[in-house]
Structure 1
Amino acid sequence: MCGRLNVIDDPAVRELCEALGIKLYPQDPSSDIQQEMLFNRFTRVANQVSIIREVSGQRRLDKAIWWLLLEPTETSFKASKWTSFNTRYDKLNVPGSAGYKAFRQSRCIIPVKGFGETQGKGAQARYTDFSAEFGAIALGGLCREWRHKDTGESALSCSIITLAPHAKLRDYHQKSSPLMLRQDDDTMDMWLDSTLSDVTVFNDLMTPQLPHNLIAQQIDKPASFQAIGAKETLFADEHLA
């Protein structure tokens, strides 16, 4: 997956958050969780993104740096030199890897309308944006908390789990595909359950899956996202539809 997210202020994104127990603004006086979401049509790696996680049994919306490994500056934190905005599925069960502990203790969901992929490099690069045809996308991710030893400042970071390339996405990106969680069963609840440490229950999720229809649109470049040609519909896997 190539480092850009579409998190527009869309009713479907709001509905996904609310389905997970997060009330967005305008604030609901009856809710204990009242937070704003970071909306951005073009979120780059190492930018902040909104994540949903569970802390002490409570769902919450937090801002996290989209780069799992951080390193301290004199007063704060910055993205590490080690690329970590994505975490490969085949590293999740490798002790000592960046995502090993987080996979067992601090999973999160990144709610988005879509994401972008790049095929090729330089002048040959082809950029494609994907968005959910209906609803929003719940990307499965990991998060980590950091505290500066000198200043005591805290930081939160996150990554998106990437799988082997899905057959329907291979023409757009040959290396990987993001983990998109199902929304019509208990998958998201299990993913956010901070007491669930037996990660073998997620084995089936580590196979590339397309749980809902995606609209694929080639664009000129990520910063301007001007459409090129016609949209294509990539249909959900039949066994998941």
Structure 2
Amino acid sequence: MCSVFDVDNQAAMERFLDIYGIQHPERVIFSRRRRPTQQVSIVTERMGRPQVENAIWHLYLEKDGNQWKPHKKYWSINSNWKKLEQRPEYRRSRCLIPATAWVESLRGKNPVEFSYGEPFFFCGLFKTWGEILSCSIITLDAHPATKIYHEKSLPMVAPRDTDFVNNWLSSSAPTDQFTAFLQPHIEYDNCQLKVRPVARATSTEYTGDPITIS
């Protein structure tokens, strides 16, 4: 389960978004250790062009007076890949979530930060609630090389490929073309995945040197 992530290095992120012609990069929320139920930045194509919007990181919301808030009965910051075919959002409301790192732990202990050293996108789903957006990050099975750090899952990272990004954001693209990507992988644009221990999941204090995973 991906439950904490970073959106850091503004200059690199703006260059990254520009590769895909994504509009409104000024809307990106830059922050270390974004947490569930907070506002995060996502990329959608619901306005006809890929653009940055902001959403609540919790897919299912409920009405509380005149406001929408995370649904108490459905913890939905992640969407497991095995259930994607059951979700209408997978067929027509896919999004990308800009990030630069994420944090995992082993049964709540020994938290570590994963990163590639450059920006990337998580693959996600989004929903609309009036004028409010919500989102979740898609999780895959754990990769054999990452199970010692988090045995349950690995977030789905989009390949650095314009065709994939365009198809993922398109509400008309059939989902069968994404099947091959629903397997855990740690390769990304010739960058090696690195892991580094941190004091706590929400802390930016490192307690060791980075290790390259291969």
Q: TM-score, normalised by structure 2?
A: 0.93
In structure 1, the residue matched to 2:81 is 89
Task: After TM superposition, give the deviation of residue 61 of structure 1 in Å.
Answer: 0.7
Identity of aligned residues (%): 30
In structure 2, the residue matched to 1:20 is 20
Q: For 1:63 and 1:157, how far apart are their aligned partners in 2?
A: 8
Paired residue type of 1:199: T
Q: Which stretch of the first structure deviates more once superposed, 54-63 or 66-75?
A: 54-63
Paired residue type of 1:48: Q
Q: For 1:85 and 1:224, how far apart are their aligned partners in 2?
A: 20
Paired residue type of 1:4: V
Q: What's the CA shift string for 1:189-238, capped at 9, x where partnerless?
A: 11111221x21111001111123222210000133321112210124xxx
In structure 2, the residue matched to 1:76 is 67
**Partner-residue secondary structure (3-state), 1:161:** strand
Map 1:107-186; keep pairs closer than 5 Å: 107-121=94-108, 125-133=109-117, 135-147=118-130, 154-184=131-161, 186=163
**Bigger radius of gyration, 1 or 2?**
1
Segments of 4+ moved more than 3 angstroms = none
Task: After TM superposition, give the deviation of residue 17 of structure 1 in Å.
Answer: 1.4
Paired residue type of 1:47: Q
1:49 matches 2:43: no
Could you tell me which runs of 5 or more consecutive residues in structure 1 were left unpaired when the two chains were aligned: 24-32, 95-99, 148-153, 236-241
Task: After TM superposition, give the deviation of residue 93 of structure 1 in Å.
Answer: 1.2
Paired residue type of 1:186: D
Could you tell me which runs of 5 or more consecutive residues in structure 2 were left unpaired when the two chains were aligned: none
Q: What's the CA shift string for 1:64-95, capped at 9, x where partnerless?
A: 0000000000011000121100000000112x
In structure 2, the residue matched to 1:30 is none
Q: For 2:62 and 2:140, how far apart are their aligned partners in 1?
A: 26
